[in-house]
A = this chain, B = another copy of it.
């Protein structure tokens, strides 16, 4: 057996404890969920480190890219929230900051006065292009994400998301 005070995988350790307490049936699920939490934390930190010089967070970057890919460069707040699966108030927050930074602009909807359109500005489009280039180079092409492992991960998580009604 390994030395007790040696750095081991804390999730494997937790899984062992689960089983030791008679919770065998739930041990795998616990390990899967905890792994998900930890891996997300690591991945997010890597992304945010790359985005920091551009003064945007991942949340705001996602909004920019959604607009970047849209035909007219503009989308209603609601549609942004639906696509990113975040609360309306989170969209308000992100757009507030993007607007303050001069990257997007709020525009009234031509026919529906309830709706606010978010319009990507040239400065925002430029930032999206540059930041994406950096992310592609420094994170998205890293071997632990882009290999077969990454593809398998996408498939597994897509099934999970689908069962949870994500799309």
Contact = CB atoms under 8 A, between A and B. Distances in A.
A135 to B, nearest CB: 8
State which size class the interface on A falls in.
35 or more
Contacts of A152: 152, 156
Main secondary structure on A side of the interface with B:
helix
A19 B144 CA distance: 19
A163 B139 CA distance: 13
For this chain, the copies found in one complex come to 2
A85 B41 contact: yes
Contact of A156 (B14, B69, B153): B153
Contacts of A11: 154, 158
Contact of A43 (B10, B36, B46): B36
A71 B144 CA distance: 36
Contact of A17 (B8, B23, B27, B69): B69
